[in-house]
């Protein structure tokens, strides 16, 4: 596999060009964080002229639905292209959008086992308090996760993986093909709970943005925190 910095640069250029070709406008900047098996891609200033018009007409949900449909259509192409060019075996791709900020986040999960590393945690953070706060936010949204794992991709990017979070009603909605509607309902709720939590105080770092996504069929949820580095 190529050096990490080369991978980050190549993924950034590839994603920028792909989105420009399919959305009519690419992001102004693309920031990539790699920590196998996760690749997080932050998109900035990403809003097409058509989407701007829809946003002015308060059609935010429609923009989210269209983007999700387009990304679902592009997933297999992304997987194939990254396997050919960088030998990255991508298992899953998730997308979340902050349309008001004109930002978005793609989370790629490689076909490898994720292992937490205690050495990745910055010094001075109460791990137990962090886990408890994440579980409490999840409890308010649906239920406490059966398992929570935290991965520090770098000093600015934290990925939280939660397993066993869906309540029975949500499972039934997924079975009846209401996954997109469930996702649209859960996004603002979970984001609100994250921002109102004590995570910033526990980390001693400001949360710039929080993105969420789910693999409903595997009963798994992801939270990605983009934070200010310690001063």
Q: Do the domain assignments include residue 115?
A: no
Whether residue 117 is contained in a domain is answered as no
* Element housing 5 (H / E): helix 4-23
Q: Are residues 69 and 98 in the same domain?
A: yes
Same domain for 131 and 214? Answer: yes
Sign of the Cα torsion 99, 187, 16, 21 reads negative
Is 80 within a domain? yes
User: Residue 50 falls within a domain, yes or no?
Assistant: yes
Q: What is the average per-residue pLDDT within 72-77?
A: 95
Residue 65: closest CA among 54, 76, 81, 57: 54
Q: Is residue 2 part of a domain?
A: no
Q: So what's the pLDDT on residue 229?
A: 82
CA-wise closest residue to 189 among 116, 137, 136, 150: 137
The domain containing residue 72 runs over which residues? 7-110
**Closest C-alpha among 38, 39, 41 to residue 26:** 41
Strands (E), the chain: 29-35, 38-44, 90-98, 103-110, 147-154, 157-163, 207-215, 220-227
d(Cα 162, Cα 146) in Å, to the nearest integer?
A: 8
Q: Is residue 118 part of a domain?
A: no
Question: Cβ atoms within 10 A of the Cβ of 68, count?
Answer: 17
Residue 138 has pLDDT above 60, yes or no: yes
* pLDDT score, position 230: 76
Which CATH number goes with the domain that contains 184?
Answer: 3.30.980
CA torsion 211-215-216-218 (nearest 10°) is -140
User: 145 in a domain, yes or no?
Assistant: yes
* Count of domains forming the chain: 2
Entry pTM: 0.92
CA distance 11 to 91: 16
pLDDT of residue 53: 95
Give every CB contact of residue 105 below 8 A, 6+ residues apart in sequence: 40, 41, 42, 43, 95, 96, 97, 209, 211, 224, 226
Q: Give mean pLDDT, residues 218-231.
A: 91
pLDDT at position 102 is 96
> How far is the CA of 119 from the CAs of 4, 38, 171, in angstroms?
19, 17, 36
DSSP summary character for residue 227: E
Buried b (16+ CB within 10 A) or exposed e, 94-113: bbbbbbeebbbbbbbbbeee
Above pLDDT 90, what percent of the chain?
88
Write out pLDDT tens, residues 4-48: 568 999 999 999 999 999 988 899 999 999 999 999 999 999 999
Domain end position, chosen among 110, 145, 176: 110
Closest to 164 measured CA to CA, from 178, 143, 183: 143
Do 133 and 208 share a domain, yes or no?
Answer: yes
Q: How confident is the model over 97-116, as a mean pLDDT?
A: 93
Please state, rounded to an integer, the average pLDDT across all residues of the chain: 93
**Residue 11 and residue 97 in one domain:** yes
Tokens of 58: 């308060």
Cis amide leading into 170 (omega within 30): no
């Amino acid at each position: 596999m190529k050096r990490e910095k080369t991978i980050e640069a190549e993924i950034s250029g590839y994603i920028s060009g792909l989105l420009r070709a399919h959305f009519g406008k690419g992001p102004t900047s693309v920031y990539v964080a790699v920590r196998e098996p996760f690749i997080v891609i932050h998109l900035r200033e990403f809003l097409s002229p058509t989407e701007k018009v829809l946003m002015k007409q308060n059609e935010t949900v429609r923009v989210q639905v269209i983007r999700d449909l387009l990304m679902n259509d592009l997933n297999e192409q992304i997987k194939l292209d990254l396997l050919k060019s960088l030998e990255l075996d991508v298992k899953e791709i998730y997308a979340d959008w902050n349309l008001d900020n004109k930002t978005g986040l793609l989370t790629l999960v490689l076909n490898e086992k994720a292992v937490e590393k205690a050495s990745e945690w910055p010094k001075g953070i109460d791990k137990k308090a962090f886990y408890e706060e994440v579980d409490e936010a999840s409890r308010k949204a649906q239920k406490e996760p059966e398992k929570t794992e935290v991965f520090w991709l770098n000093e600015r990017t934290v990925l939280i993986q939660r397993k066993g979070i869906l309540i029975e009603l949500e499972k039934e909605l997924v079975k009846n093909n209401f996954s997109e509607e469930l996702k649209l309902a859960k996004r603002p709720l979970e984001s609100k709970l994250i921002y109102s939590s004590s995570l910033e105080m526990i980390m001693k770092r400001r949360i710039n943005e929080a993105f969420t996504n789910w693999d409903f069929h595997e009963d798994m949820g992801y939270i990605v925190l983009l934070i200010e580095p310690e001063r």
